[in-house]
Structure 1
Amino acid sequence: MNNRKQLRQHIRTLRRSLTPRQQQQASQLLLTNIRHRTDFRRAKNIAMYLPNDGEINPESLIRLCWKLGKRVYLPVLHPVLHNRLWFVPYTAKTDMIKNIYGIKEPKLIPHHRRAAWALDLVLLPLVAFDEKGNRMGMGGGYYDRTFSFKALRKGLAGPKLIGLAHEIQKVKELPTENWDIPLSSIITDTNSYP
């Protein structure tokens, strides 16, 4: 078993061990830490996620977006391209299905989606992170592949990518790979990095 796999499993166990009360408190603190940020206030098209496997819950932030008239999008597994995402509008009335991982996502209507480069802000989940803003995901590379255009020197600037996490998911240092797409910052229930 390699170190990345062990670390991923350890952090996932830590975040799943949080009580429902701790999860609720973390969600409210996350909302407080994000709602007044300039990048959030200016964004009109925001991609988020529904929590799974102990991830910090952004649902109160989703409700705030709806209240403020912002458009919310959720990731949907790309139906053809392996390990890539589409972003589909999400409202309180959106029909939901479970994907191959058992995660709820909007029922896909291909012409009702937004290109990754056309989003203003992406608030994405992660397993572990360090103070430099390095992110470890679940290992499938979905976000890295979907936003790989950001690594191209003359590529589209695209949306600002911000990771959301519980503070307990922070580690001293994460090794990075050349395909890892850097995040602008990481916001937890108690801090922002870098």
Structure 2
Amino acid sequence: MTAISPIQDKAALRRQLRRARMALPPAYRAAAAHAIARHASRLLKRGKRVGGYLAAGSELDLAEILNAALWRGADVYLPQIPRDSRRLWFTRLGAADRWYLHPRYRILEYAGARLRAERLDVIFVPLLGVDRQGYRMGQGGGFYDTTLAYRRRHPQGGRPLLVGVAYDCQLVDAVPREAWDVRLDYLLTESGLRRLPLAEPMA
């Protein structure tokens, strides 16, 4: 029997997780987005710098969380991909209409005041899969791994607080790990906000 390489393992797991996420009905997605906003409320405090993302494809929608953060007086920052590196900037969302499409990736970004990740208080991190130890699997671009590389010096916490956002179906026993992977601090799903690593299986 032919052995499966780690790269093939990772690709197969990505396909499996994408299928599971895409299979969720629209009504379930809407209910999950509302639930995670409720569970995240204690992280959305006045004066805090909150990093988020704009959902793409079948990703869990953060719009309700970001709107709640703004309403509570937090500053909301969105990722901006530079043209010459994989280290993300985060730009502050403002009232002006300053949206544009990234010239290469064709994703929506906002032209606001920029900060590096280490100056934020919390980042809601997108992911494709996450395991019980808090290691995430992304889309494969390496942007968050590069951006958060400094956090490997603070594996038990640091700034910002890293909160992985996912549906329950994206939680797996283990994801393939690399030396540069950064562990998340919390996992936020429709079931609740839980500290990582998880001690017990999710109900």
TM-score (norm 1): 0.88
> How far, CA to CA, are the matches of 1:69 and 1:43 in structure 2?
6
CA apart distance, 1:182? 0.9
Q: Which runs of 5+ in 2 are unaligned?
A: 1-6, 199-203
Kept after mapping to 1: 8 A contact 2:125/2:162: yes
One-letter amino acid matched to 1:88: T
Deviations 1:121-156 (A, max 9, x none): 000100001122111011111011011111236xx9
Q: Provide the residue aligned with 2:63 in structure 1.
A: 59
Q: Which runs of 4+ in 1 moved over 3 A?
A: 39-43, 91-94
* Distance apart, 1:177 and its partner CA: 1.3
Q: How does 1:18-97 map onto structure 2 within 5 Å?
A: 18-36=24-42, 39-41=43-45, 44-81=48-85, 83-91=86-94, 93-97=96-100
Verify the 8 A CA contact 1:119 1:159 in the aligned structure 2: yes
Percent identity over paired residues: 29
Tell me what 1:115 maps to: 116
- TM superposition score normalised by structure 2: 0.84
Quick check: 2:133–2:183 contact (8 Å CA) kept in 1?
no
The amino acid that maps onto 1:80 is D
Query: Is 1:173 matched with 2:174?
Result: yes
1:173 CA displacement? 1.4
Letter of the 2:109 counterpart: E
RMSD (Å), alpha carbons: 2.0
Rounded to whole Å, the distance in 1 between the matches of 2:183 and 2:171 is 16
Cα distance change on mapping 1:66 and 1:176 into 2, 3 Å: same
1:77-156 alignment, distance < 5 Å: 77-81=81-85, 83-91=86-94, 93-99=96-102, 100-107=104-111, 112-152=113-153
